[in-house]
Amino acid sequence: MSQEILQTLTWLIPAGPLLAFFLIALFTHRNRTLSWMIAWTGVIAALILGWTVAGYTSTQFFEEPEKVLEHPVQIASSIDWIPVGPCIVEDAGNCESWIDAGVAVDGLTSVTLIMVTFTVFMIFVYSVGYHNYGKPRGTHPGVPNHGKEDPIFSRFFAYMSLFAFGMLLLVTSDNLLFLFIGWEIMGFCSYSLIGFWYAREYHLGPDDIPHIPPYLAAKKAFMVTRIADVVMLLGIVFFYRTFGTLNFSEALSAHSLEAGVAQIGVAAIGIMALLLFTGTVGKSAQWPLHVWLPDAMEGPTPVSAVIHAAAMVSAGIYMLLRIFPLIAVAIEGNPGVGWIIGGIGAFTALMAATIAIAQNDVKGVLAYSTISQLGFMVATIGIGGYIAAAFHLITHGFFKALLFLASGSVIHGMEHGAMHVHDHHTDPQDMRYMGGLRKKMPITFWTFLIGGLALAGFPFVTAGFWSKDEMFAEAFTLMQEGNLTALFVLVMLVLAAFLTAFYTGRQITMTFLGKPRSQLAEHAHESNKFMTIPLVLLAVFAVSVGWSGITDNFMGTSGIFRNYFHGLVGSTIEETMLELKGAGLVAHAIETLPWRWEPLIMSLIVALGGLFLGWWIYGRKPLPVGFADPIKRPLGPLYNFFQNKWYWDELYHTVFYRPTIWTSEQLVPVFIDKGIIDGILHLIARVTYAIGHYFKRFEEIVISGGVDWLKDKTLIFANWTRQLQTGNAQEYVAVSSLIAVVFAFSIVLLINYGWLEKIQLWFQQIF
Amino acid sequence: MDLLQEHILTITIFFPLLAAFVLMLLPGESKTAIRRLALLLSLVPLILVLVMWLNYDRAAADMQFQDFASWFPAIGSNYHVGVDGISLPLFLLTTILTPLSILASFKIEERVKLFMMLFLIMETAMLGLFASLDLLIFFIFWEIGLVPMYFIIRLWGGADRNYASFKFFVYTMAGSLGLLLSIQIIGVVTGTFNIPELMDVWVNLPNDILLPVIGTVSVGWVKGIAFIAFFIAFAIKIPIWPFHTWLPDAHTQAPTAGSMILAGVLLKLGAYGFIRLVIPLFPEQAYTTAFILAWLGMLSIVMGGYAAFGQWDFKRLVAYSSVNHMGFVVLGIAVMAYAYGQNFVGSVTEDAILATNGAVFQMVNHGLSAAGMFFLVGVIYERTHTRDLKKYGGIWSVLPIYGMILIFTSMASLGLPGLNGFVSEFMVTAGTWNIFTVQLALSMLGLLMTGAYILKGIGATLHGPTKPEWLGLPKMTLREHAVIWHLMALMLSLGVWPQWILVFINDTVSRIFIG
């Protein structure tokens, strides 16, 4: 295919969903069938285009790897967007410097496109069923209409299309600014979709799983990520003003990075990397900004799947991978940066995993699991594991989307049961009331099982195993070189991986095995075809996608396996990293690690051990109705600590939220504005007024020479104070306008007739 | 036609005044006719501006569509107007917002004729100011603009309008006095009021000579005093923290259309004054005090953001948001002040071009989004008769389209990428980074609060279960849609394809720094 056609195709990838958004929002929002069909068309177009482009680039790589290594960006096109400098005067419209908008496709873009377009399409399919398309229409907008078609069905697809646009823009963008634009558009869609049921309120009993209303959850998500975004904005402008361009391949070439280091020093590069990394901390829900993601589960489940598992939260990791040469230089020059990135990732991975083991909300477990898995990726990037992190990003995207959709199917089934028995109090998301769903919902069970095993890293078959194994291998190899960060990361990640397998075992057991523990579960029902077909398709990928990244010398073999993923994604920055290594700015280029058995053993032990322990504790014998969590006693106070999410929300509420409210409602508008600033102004007004009165009184005294001066003055003073309080504004205006005009004219005269000079002379004579 | 071609700028400026006289001839009872005629006549300047837009020569370095007439030769003041890439976008903004404000106030029933006349007179004042190339003419338009707004708040305002209008008037007058004094000094010292000429004569007057007229006072001293006077006058108008306390009161009490124009255009007069007069006429003083301006800009952003978040009166919230947003204009101006006339090479010049472009563009963007926000607050107020955010709730279910429009406009105000505010904020941020890093970093706190107050407004109005008293609120009328959709289209187009307006700004700004 010619380069021009490919460029056009790439530009068109985000265009379909965007067009769908506008069509639905402006024209078809009343016609629900047409709306979802338009949304599907947009995303199918993106899928076809995305896979075509990705197919082209990977074929190119396998056919002519040397050429691709030299020019990793295989499709690139850009247009002028903002003029930022002098235009050549004679030739209007031909400005010299511009901030560009552009698209670029390389190996990393390709694999991400494959994952994103496919999962997003699956979720679009699923959503039609999830919102009960074709059932009688619900009558309450803004709350879940169980068993009825959502009354704002079209709005959902409009937002989802806009979201897909944002993600695709982010992935295809060739520069940091448009990445950020996609990033923020997704943030807005996330806000809107978490708050999709904007009118919902909860009336919770003491034993229920705590929920906050969706509109609060939406606000929380937007604000917490915005903290990170404003910091990231600083990072972007720092990047731009240092390298003189926002384009990735221009700014992050070895040459440009060397110039950057020479210009501002490697410590400043470290600061730049951390500013940008803060964006990831917010978007990918890393500690300390992870608190928004669990509450984001208030959105409809397809939203949780696409935004809070497969696409948006992955954007943070994707951004780090995009700027990886910068991160690598920053880490090499400042070990502290590596500790911060690796440390935050590793800590988040373990902390979220500990919280996940004590959650009863079927989506809550997955939410913390997502935070934890993203922590794996961040930690791996922090020690320089570019390909391992990218690989886990892709596999996680597939299996986590699957898990969320399957859990949505479970909830849907439970809601069906709730309607059947007219129980509107029991929380259909509470795993304590589930059990035995294996028989009721077989497709959901088997697909959930596959997703769960992938998450736990079940050996040799599932995708999660291969990516997790690679991350361990990365950390292990570096640790052997004496890298302390890698040691820390390895220990934390192994512990976290064990807990991951454990809570996955626990979740599968509590949900699907044993006997139904409520009427809801008793009458649950398999979901419709719109929902089950995507589950099956995603399950296929949750297994097979891992095979693309099996280490070349796995188990000491040679020639059997080929690590396609490593080659393709590695090609993106391989040359750059080699050059940087040559310049002494990084210690490691993109290397193929020697296969070792220690990480494999670790993977096997934690995955199988955790899964078995989960089953052994929860599944040996069926759990009774109203059971107490068996791990509650052995864990003691830790259990409450975990279940209450380490009390981060409470801490932030006291330390940040309340002071902010006080500052905004009291300190700034009342104390500073009204008290100090207006106070000073009122004082000036009073003094002026008093002087005016004094002159008036003086005149009266001279003329009348009144004897009752003291008495009058007291009265007038009282009167004056009263007047000032109520303020006859008309009189004020008249008086002050008059004074102003007289004052102005006297000043003019003062200058024009040289009076100022006379006054000055007079002053000089005195002093 | 020749007359039109040669004097198109003058005709544009004075047409609204003429229209006001035409309205005066109509009988006061025929309200509908007055409204329609006012709207129709206010569209004429817009068309004229579009004609100028299309005929604007980007390659020419001079002021364009210049018009000159001898006015007051004894003191060297002349009627001299012209536009460049900085004033042209503001012309467009003014001529778009005036018809929309008139359309927005069709519900006004009291003294309709006077109301419409005041708006048209104000349009002349604003356009005149943006085109003035003579200091005295500038000042006259400046003062004329003040009077109609005072009466609009005073006569059609809310319950506390007396205090608000008085505060507005006195505050601005306080600034104007110093401005007038300084303009007089400049005129007396140099013998001319012509701005392009002053940029040469006045600026190059050596600081150490004693003034021929005033005697023993040195030029440097006078320049310093005059700079402070200019600074304060325009700072009050923008308003820069801590000169901002008139603004929340004035906005809260003003009628909807008054707020639209006040936030949309009048605040820009101050920023325009900085860019057109303060920095070019006092480059040395501006350079030495640029860091103060940056600190004040930062404080405007942060304090404005916090104060807006603390409000429970929807209109007051939006009013404080103006302080927050105009802070970015101030930051951009601070960078301009730092770089102007200092003959820096390389990076600083690029920073200054970025930041100044951003500041001018932010003026346009804030004009659109603030006018939209005030209008939407007016729409909901007309239906619920309250602006108390605590009393709203769940209105989205009742007015779904209004809800979407409010979210759209709020997001433009928040600076969501894809809509206009983001582009200018990004440009200011990028241009400021190298020069005022600390101030910029601290202002990010204000940007965070922007999100907080915008979400507070949306959440309190639209979200939550619908309160029974709001069931059956009437839908937005066609007239209301007509007002907001124009603004929304502009906000979207400027966010997606900002260069249609930015190339004009960029041409002029680049010439300022590079020549």
A142: nearest CA in chain B? Answer: B397
* Angstrom distance (rounded) from CA B239 to CA A318: 41
Does B498 lie at the interface with A, CB-CB under 8 angstroms? yes
* Average pLDDT of the segment spanning B410-438: 93
Neighbouring residues of B318: CB distance < 8 A, sequence distance ≥ 6: B251, B259, B263, B308, B370, B373, B374, B377, B457
The whole-angstrom distance between A205's CA and the closest CA on chain B is: 20
Q: How many CB atoms lie within 10 A of CB A537?
A: 17
| CB nearest B502 (choices: A83, A744, A757) | A83
* A227 or B160, higher pLDDT: A227
* Angstrom distance (rounded) from CA B360 to CA B331: 11
Asked whether the beta carbons of residue B430 and residue A213 sit closer than 8 angstroms, the reply is no
Give pLDDT, residue A83: 87
| CB nearest B215 (choices: A660, A729, A757) | A757
Decide if pLDDT at B343 tops 90: no
| CB nearest A215 (choices: B311, B440, B459) | B459
| CB nearest A668 (choices: B306, B407, B451) | B306
Decide if pLDDT at A692 tops 50: yes
* Angstrom distance (rounded) from CA A737 to CA B166: 10
Decide if pLDDT at A89 tops 60: no
* A to B CB pairs, distance under 8 Å: 216
Decide if pLDDT at A424 tops 50: yes
Mean of per-residue pLDDT scores for chain B: 90
Domain boundaries, chain A: 731-767
Q: Of B25-29, B205-209, B480-484, which one has max mean pLDDT?
A: B480-484
Burial track A613-647 (b if 16+ CB lie within 10 A, e otherwise):
bbbebbbeebbeeeeebebeeebeeebeebbebbe
- Asked if residue B188 lies in contact with residue A752, where contact means CB atoms within 8 angstroms, the answer is yes
The predicted-structure confidence for A446-502, as pLDDT tens digits, reads as follows 999 999 999 998 888 888 888 888 888 888 988 888 888 899 999 999 999 999 999
* Average pLDDT of the segment spanning A606-628: 87
Number of domains in chain B: 1
Give pLDDT, residue A2: 83
* Average pLDDT of the segment spanning B56-65: 85
Asked whether the beta carbons of residue B162 and residue A729 sit closer than 8 angstroms, the reply is yes
* Angstrom distance (rounded) from CA A504 to CA A500: 6
| 162-181 of B, contacting A, C-beta below 8 A | 162-163, 165-166, 169-170, 173, 176-177, 180-181
- Asked if residue B345 lies in contact with residue B431, where contact means CB atoms within 8 angstroms, the answer is no
Burial track B406-428 (b if 16+ CB lie within 10 A, e otherwise):
bbbbbbbbbbbbbbbbbbbbbbb
pLDDT bin (cut points 50, 70, 90) of residue A375 is very high
Asked whether the beta carbons of residue B498 and residue A752 sit closer than 8 angstroms, the reply is no
Q: Of A698-702, A750-754, B306-310, which one has max mean pLDDT?
A: B306-310
Give pLDDT, residue A271: 94
The predicted-structure confidence for B109-159, as pLDDT tens digits, reads as follows 888 889 999 999 999 999 999 999 999 899 999 988 888 898 899 889 888
Helix (H, G, I), strand (E, B) or coil at A288: coil
Chain B residues touching A673 at Cβ < 8 A? 244-245, 248, 307
The whole-angstrom distance between B509's CA and the closest CA on chain A is: 8
Chain A residues touching B440 at Cβ < 8 A? 234
The predicted-structure confidence for A279-289, as pLDDT tens digits, reads as follows 999 999 998 99
Give pLDDT, residue B75: 79
| CB nearest B503 (choices: A93, A141, A199) | A93
The predicted-structure confidence for A303-336, as pLDDT tens digits, reads as follows 888 888 888 899 999 999 999 999 999 998 888 9
Residue for token pair 């000089």: A764
* Angstrom distance (rounded) from CA A111 to CA A113: 5
Percentage of the residues of chain B whose pLDDT score is greater than 70? 98
Give pLDDT, residue A707: 46
Decide if pLDDT at A407 tops 70: yes
Give pLDDT, residue A709: 54
pLDDT bin (cut points 50, 70, 90) of residue B15 is very high
Residue for token pair 């010439």: B511
The predicted-structure confidence for B228-263, as pLDDT tens digits, reads as follows 999 999 999 988 988 888 999 899 999 999 999 999
Give pLDDT, residue A742: 63
The whole-angstrom distance between B506's CA and the closest CA on chain A is: 7
The predicted-structure confidence for A707-754, as pLDDT tens digits, reads as follows 455 555 555 655 554 554 444 444 555 555 556 666 666 666 555 555
Give pLDDT, residue B125: 93
pTM: 0.91
Return the minimum-mean-pLDDT range out of A25-34, B275-284, B368-377.
Answer: A25-34
Asked whether the beta carbons of residue B407 and residue A192 sit closer than 8 angstroms, the reply is yes
The whole-angstrom distance between B157's CA and the closest CA on chain A is: 14
* Average pLDDT of the segment spanning A621-625: 83
Largest CA distance in chain B: 75
* Angstrom distance (rounded) from CA A279 to CA A296: 18
Give pLDDT, residue A727: 46
Does B140 lie at the interface with A, CB-CB under 8 angstroms? no
Decide if pLDDT at A623 tops 80: yes
Give pLDDT, residue A726: 45
pLDDT bin (cut points 50, 70, 90) of residue A528 is confident
Return the minimum-mean-pLDDT range out of A4-13, A44-53, A253-262, B154-163.
Answer: B154-163
pLDDT bin (cut points 50, 70, 90) of residue A756 is low
Residue for token pair 């909830």: A411
Range of the domain at B139: 2-514
Asked whether the beta carbons of residue B407 and residue A90 sit closer than 8 angstroms, the reply is no
**Which of B217, B317, B500, B506 is the best residue to mutate to test the A interface, defined by the most A CB atoms within 10 Å of its own CB?**
B506
Give pLDDT, residue A609: 92
Decide if pLDDT at B322 tops 90: yes
* Average pLDDT of the segment spanning A691-696: 73
**Which of B142, B160, B245 is the best residue to mutate to test the A interface, defined by the most A CB atoms within 10 Å of its own CB?**
B245
* Average pLDDT of the segment spanning A635-658: 89
Neighbouring residues of B231: CB distance < 8 A, sequence distance ≥ 6: B278, B289
Mean of per-residue pLDDT scores for chain A: 85
